[in-house]
């Protein structure tokens, strides 16, 4: 294991490939999403031992509303089940849940469940940030509007109003399934993040894959524009 070099504090993941995973196995798409939740669960259990302060996951984008209604229903139902079944484990394992995006626009029962989960995990030491109804351009526009209302618009004043303002700087972005794009995720926060794109489909992504990404990160030289 690489122990030299930078240690990541904050990793974000674009969890892609659930549909292709299901298709390859001749299963309905929902099975891919269900297996995707299993991958999330295993990862969350492993991050504490990896020394990560924050894991941010792209679970539902503001553009995902364009998907067929039954797939959206499946994803929302998986979300309901996940919060219900895993909240006690978050509390026991000192996980602080955080939600980024326009999540208050989700179904009222989900908003209520999330409000409760946020309150119950508020003092956790490790943050699991879940992006729900999230779009980075929308987040930046909201932050810039809030910054302008207070005074000058600067990189610092915008950053202070982003949904991620209380999180450590983003160190590493991972996207699964072979696509090489950001899809409106953490555009501002990625300014100096390292990036890893892997062909592994999200349901197949394990804590060992995350550890390999962290080892790769530890071997990189970060310059932030300097030399």
Which residues are identified as catalytic? 16, 64
Residues 195-224 that bind ligand FPP (CB under 6 A): 202
The number of angstroms, rounded, from the C-alpha of 73 to the middle of its chain's C-alpha atoms is: 20
Residue 78 touches ligand FPP, criterion: CB under 6 A: yes
Interacting residue with ligand FPP among 28, 48, 64, 220 (CB under 6 A): 64
Q: How far is the CB of 104 from ligand FPP (least distance, A)?
A: 17
Give the binding range for ligand FPP (CB under 6 A) out of 30-38, 110-118, 154-162, 186-194. 30-38
Strands 10-14 and 54-61: parallel
* Residue choice 99, 130, 170, 186 for contact with ligand FPP (CB under 6 A): 130
Q: Return d(Cα 3, Cα 52) in angstroms, integer.
A: 14
Contact in structure between 56 and 10 (CB atoms under 8 Å)? yes
What is the CB neighbour count within 10 angstroms for residue 23? 14
Residues 33-52 that bind ligand FPP (CB under 6 A): 33, 36-37, 40
Angle at 118 between CA 116 and CA 122, to 5 degrees: 125
Write down the H helix ranges in the chain.
18-24, 29-47, 69-92, 108-121, 136-150, 155-159, 207-218
> Quick one: 20 or 142, whose CB is closer to ligand FPP?
20
- Scan residues 134-163 and list those touching ligand FPP (CB under 6 A): none
| DSSP classification of residue 44 | H
**Which of 11, 54, 79, 100 touches ligand FPP (CB under 6 A)?**
79
Residue 11 lies near ligand FPP (rule: CB under 6 A): no
Torsion of CA 149, 155, 161, 162, to 10 degrees: 140
Could you tell me which of 70, 74, 46 has the C-alpha nearest to residue 59?
74
- Surface-to-core class of residue 58, CB atoms within 10 Å of its CB (0-12 exposed, 13-18 middle, 19+ buried): buried
Residue 82 lies near ligand FPP (rule: CB under 6 A):
yes
**Does the footprint of ligand FPP cover residue 57 (CB under 6 A)?**
yes
Q: Count the residues of the shown chain that bind ligand FPP, applying the rule CB under 6 A.
A: 19
Residues 170-199 contacting ligand FPP, CB under 6 A = 177
CB nearer to ligand FPP: pick between 74 and 143 = 74
Chain residues in the site for ligand FPP (CB under 6 A) = 15-20, 33, 36-37, 40, 57, 59, 64, 78-79, 82, 130, 177, 202
């Amino acid at each position: 294991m690489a122990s030299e070099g930078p240690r990541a504090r904050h990793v974000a993941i674009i969890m892609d490939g659930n549909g292709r995973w299901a298709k390859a196995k001749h299963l309905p798409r929902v099975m891919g999403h269900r297996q995707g939740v299993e991958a999330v669960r295993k990862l969350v259990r492993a991050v504490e031992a990896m020394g990560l302060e924050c894991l941010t996951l792209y679970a539902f984008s503001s553009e995902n509303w364009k998907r067929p209604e039954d797939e959206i229903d499946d994803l929302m139902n998986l979300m309901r089940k996940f919060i219900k079944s895993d909240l006690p484990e978050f509390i026991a394992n000192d996980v602080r849940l955080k939600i980024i995006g326009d999540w208050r626009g989700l179904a009222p029962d989900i908003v209520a469940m999330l409000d409760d989960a946020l309150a119950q995990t508020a003092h956790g030491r490790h943050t699991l940030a879940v992006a729900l109804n999230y779009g980075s351009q929308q987040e930046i526009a909201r932050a810039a509007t809030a910054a302008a209302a207070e005074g000058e618009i600067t990189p610092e004043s915008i950053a202070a109003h982003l949904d991620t303002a209380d999180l450590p700087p983003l160190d590493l972005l991972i996207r699964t399934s072979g696509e090489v794009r950001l899809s409106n995720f953490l555009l501002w926060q990625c300014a100096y993040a390292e990036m890893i794109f892997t062909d592994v489909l999200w349901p197949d992504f394990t804590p060992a894959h995350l550890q390999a990404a962290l080892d790769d990160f530890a071997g990189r030289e970060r310059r932030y524009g300097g030399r």
